[in-house]
Amino acid sequence: MHSVLSLSPGARNNLPIALGCPGPFLAPLSTCCSRLSAGATCMGRRPPPSPPAPACAGRPRGSCNATRGPEAARGAGAAGPATCRPGKGPAPHPPRPPDFLLYRHCRHFPQLLDVPGKCGGPARSAGVFLLLAIKSSPGNYVRREAIRKTWGRERSVAGARVRRVFLCGVAAGAKVAKLNQLLQLEHREHGDILQWDFQDTFFNLTLKQLLFHDWLAASCPGARFVLNGDDDVFVNTDNVVHFTQGITARHLFVGQLITNVGPIRSSPSKYYVPPQVTASERYPPYCGGGGILMSGFTARTIHRESRHLELFPIDDVYLGMCLERAGLAPASHNAIRTVGVQVPAKAEPFDPCYYRELLLVHRFAPYEMALMWQALRQPGLRCAPLPAGPGRWLHRHAGTNGE
């Protein structure tokens, strides 16, 4: 019943699942990597005594060496890890490769917007059956509004309480103040924004995930299930509730399963991962990050195991690493389609009958969310047996990491 996306080594270069790292920076990167053990303050905590803190500590993002500049890293005096400060983290894509390594030890950032009562407080959070945790960049206002009015509505489905939060960092670039104000307005009106003071970029998706798990453990530890996805997915929330109401096992982690893949070592690739980031040539099995459904037990397990694993910039792969460390496995669910839906070539592409039985599809534009939500809720919707045969892909997305 469930399908598995399994790629041969020859197909790996076509699947964007790794970290971009331009070739010209390889020399300074290897030098910076050799100094990752240097002492660095991280939110007031300092490791055992080590060589003096690097000159780039606390300097503007993207600077590997505050005194001599990034080019000086090519010489003998390369910088070590930078001081963890609000708004820090790897720079926007395309990044300087040393940035992720410089801030890799930083995993605690101030929370700017919080909803501690979203689940009724920790003691009452067991009353939340399904928590929708949606990764969203600050500028994606239209997507958030579409979700609030459609599949992300807070309501009860078959007696199960559904709650919603959006996970955000701070925008990079000149619009920081305006977009922070926008999130504050949304927060006052809807009470559904979780925002932390780190750069909201591709390379910080793992950080966003970990900070959400911290919040979940503190403010909503009793939630039965968590649907974690991007803000451009369409979710048939009723189907998700009906599916999870039949789950009796403690562990659940399902999505579009990806196996037999590893880091892309081709330097021209946008998703190149050099050996300095990970020497392993394999990734553990994992589910594409566009949409994942997990139990509260599994979410708590990920939170526990993440404390013992170094940050890795690909968030869905990192979750697979946490599961592997815990001795748990992700699983495939055929109704979660993070790489799109295939329909017969001559079929109506937006026929709701192709989506009626699914749990999640990636990706949808905001107007498509609204149209599909209404189409699926038509009282007289009738679906004939779906035709078979060669088809075409709809809403297909080649990536696995969302933003």
Does residue 15 belong to any structural domain of this protein? no
Does residue 204 belong to any structural domain of this protein? yes
Name residue 259's beta-bridge partners: 6
Model pTM score = 0.77
What total of structural domains would you count in the chain? Answer: 1
Does residue 98 belong to any structural domain of this protein? no
pLDDT in tens, the chain (403 residues): 444 444 444 433 333 323 333 322 222 333 333 333 333 333 333 333 333 333 333 333 333 222 222 222 222 233 456 667 666 555 443 344 446 777 888 889 999 999 999 999 999 999 999 999 999 999 999 999 999 999 999 999 999 999 999 999 999 878 899 999 999 999 999 999 999 999 998 878 999 999 999 999 999 999 999 999 999 999 999 999 999 999 999 999 999 999 999 987 877 776 777 788 889 999 999 999 999 999 999 999 999 999 999 998 889 999 999 999 999 999 999 999 998 888 888 888 789 999 999 999 998 999 999 999 999 999 889 987 765 544 444 544 433 333 3
Q: At residue 343, what are phi and psi to the nearest 5 degrees?
A: -125, 160
Find the domain containing 238 and state its range.
111-332
Does residue 123 belong to any structural domain of this protein? yes
Q: Rounded CA gap, 147 and 149, in Å?
A: 5
Contact 106, 84 (CB under 8 A): yes
Q: What is the pLDDT of residue 185?
A: 98
Contact 211, 110 (CB under 8 A): no
Does residue 99 belong to any structural domain of this protein? no
Does residue 80 belong to any structural domain of this protein? no
Mind giving me the DSSP string for 186-222? Answer: HHHHH--EEEEEEE-SGGGHHHHHHHHHHHHHHH-TT
Contact 301, 294 (CB under 8 A): no
Q: What is the C-alpha R_g of the chain?
A: 22
Q: Which two tokens stand for residue 21?
A: 């790292």
Q: What is the CATH number of the domain that holds 287?
A: 3.90.550
Does residue 281 belong to any structural domain of this protein? yes
Q: Rounded CA gap, 104 and 38, in Å?
A: 13
Give the SS3 label for residue 98: helix
Residue environment code for 287-322, b if the CB has 16+ CB neighbours within 10 A, otherwise e: bbbbbbbbbbbbbbbbbebbeeeebbbbbbbbbbbb
Other Cβ atoms less than 10 A from the Cβ of 375: the count is 15
Residues in Cβ contact with 8 at an 8 Å cutoff, skipping those fewer than 6 apart: 260
Does residue 79 belong to any structural domain of this protein? no
Q: Rounded CA gap, 353 and 349, in Å?
A: 10
Question: Cα separations (Å) of 246 from 16, 252, 300?
Answer: 34, 12, 21
Q: Rounded CA gap, 215 and 220, in Å?
A: 7
Name residue 342's beta-bridge partners: 393
Dihedral angle at the C-alpha atoms of 175, 89, 70, 267, nearest 10 degrees?
Answer: -100
Q: Which two tokens stand for residue 373?
A: 């939500």
